[in-house]
Structure 1
Amino acid sequence: MKKSIAFILASASATAIAVPASAQDNSAFTGPRIEGIAGYDISKAGSDVDNDLNDEDDQSIDGFMYGVGIGYDFAVNNIVLGVEAELTDSTAKSEIDDGDLEDLGFGARLKTGRDLYLGARAGVLANPRTLIYVKGGYTNARFDLLADDGSTEIETDLDLDGFRVGAGAEYALSENSFVKLEYRYSNYSEGEFDFEDNDFFDDDTGESGRFDADLDRHQVAVGFGYRF
């Protein structure tokens, strides 16, 4: 009986010690954070609008993505929950400046602009210094469109709304600094043009009526950040 009581007391003591230790392990992934982000960015026509019949159509644009992010994380036992926001840009663009269209005097350019993201993430500790997480939320992307028919040039912003999901791993270099690697997929399903002097807009704001869209965006990003 004495051995049993001693074993129970020892087990309870070990558990009492282990719980604060587990909470302390989470401390490298809690609190406010700021980070720089960079990586590969590709936007592609979604399945509803892609054109598999014409191989000459440029249905994707890719480039270098860069930006900043902020967030706040807190721990619930061994689970880390957080909210986050990002502002990024990209060098991806596409131009129609040769071939039959150029011979007819037509030209066009599509260039990526700023991308806003607001969402949340949830993760678990793979070890005391590594967090594995999933994320998701709202994203709004802007693309700059320039069209020229040889006599008239029109430039407008295309704003697209959609969702983003992703997954990644974050490694704590110290209690205040970290690096991370993640994959993100975004789909934009609604949009509007932002320009005047066009019959497509339906009010005095210079914005067109909203329309359905289908644009997929894939990104592989690395980040380096500081936690306060």
Structure 2
Amino acid sequence: MKMRMSAAVTALILTSTAAFGADLAPSSVEPVPPAALPFSWTGFYAGANIGYAFGGDDRVGVHYPNYIGDIGKASGKGILGGLQAGYNYQLDNIVIGLEADIQGSQIKDSVTGSVAGIPGKGQSDVKWYGTLRPRIGYAFDRFLIYATGGLAYGNIDYKLNYDGVSIKDSSTKLGWTAGAGVEYAFTDNLSGRLEYQYVDFGGYRVGNANLSTKATPDFHAVRVGLNYKF
């Protein structure tokens, strides 16, 4: 009888010990997913763009040989498209960078009028242009707003016909540009942008000692583009 009671007590103690041990066993822990890293604009990128140019204020004056008046104002307009490449560096929310682009364009205009009772016609055509610009912006994670400005250069055809005499110039000119834009990163590598630029090629003389004009080609441009960050 005593042996049976001892066996029963022993079994009860072993069962309680096992249950208590089970209560002390560590419960399974769900794995914690790694924290998502913030997006960075730092890196090289390249892309393409397309846009439209308009406006400007190029007054076509006639010097015959002294200044005698304006034929009118030429405001070039037309489509443009090209490639861009650059590098960004991000420090906290500030993004600084350098970008170069080259654009094929058909930014044309012609204006007719008369000076001293004699009809005349002026024409301009920006065949291509490019820029080299630093950029500075502020990033809201994947959204970037920026300002930009720097060097502009381009090939411009310029013509003036007056009193049966024609003068023209076709050459590459230097100027300046300034603008601003917004850009959004759809993925870690692909981003899209909307950008405004003002481009001014300054003033230069076209013609000879008998007939000349001062060309002042400039225009506004709005462009949309895509970039791939490496």
Equivalent residue for 1:93, pick from 95, 108, 118: 108
Equivalent residue for 1:189, pick from 164, 184, 202: 202
TM-score when normalising by structure 2:
0.65
Question: Is this contact kept in 1: 2:75–2:219, CA < 8 A?
Answer: no
CA distance in 1, matches of 2:198, 2:220: 5
Q: How much does 1:87 deviate? A: 0.5
CA distance in 2, matches of 1:156, 1:50: 14
- Residue correspondences, number: 186
Q: How much does 1:199 deviate? A: 7.1
CA distance in 1, matches of 2:195, 2:51: 10
Q: How much does 1:169 deviate? A: 0.5
1:32 aligned partner: 44
- 2:88 alignment partner AA: D
Secondary structure of the structure 1 residue equivalent to 2:56: strand
> Map of 1:57-206 to 2, 5 A cutoff?
57-95=72-110, 109-126=123-140, 128-146=141-159, 156-191=169-204
Q: How much does 1:142 deviate? A: 2.0
Q: How much does 1:186 deviate? A: 2.2
1:207 aligned partner: none
Cα 1:148/1:165, change in 2 over 3 Å: closer
Secondary structure of the structure 1 residue equivalent to 2:133: strand
2:221 aligned partner: 219
Q: How much does 1:189 deviate? A: 2.1
- 5+ unaligned residues in a row in structure 2: which ranges? 1-34, 62-68
Higher strand share: 2
- 2:89 alignment partner AA: F
- 5+ unaligned residues in a row in structure 1: which ranges? 1-17, 201-210
Question: Is this contact kept in 2: 1:140–1:160, CA < 8 A?
Answer: yes
CA distance in 1, matches of 2:143, 2:130: 27
Equivalent residue for 1:44, pick from 52, 56, 76: 56
RMSD: 3.7
Cα 1:173/1:90, change in 2 over 3 Å: same
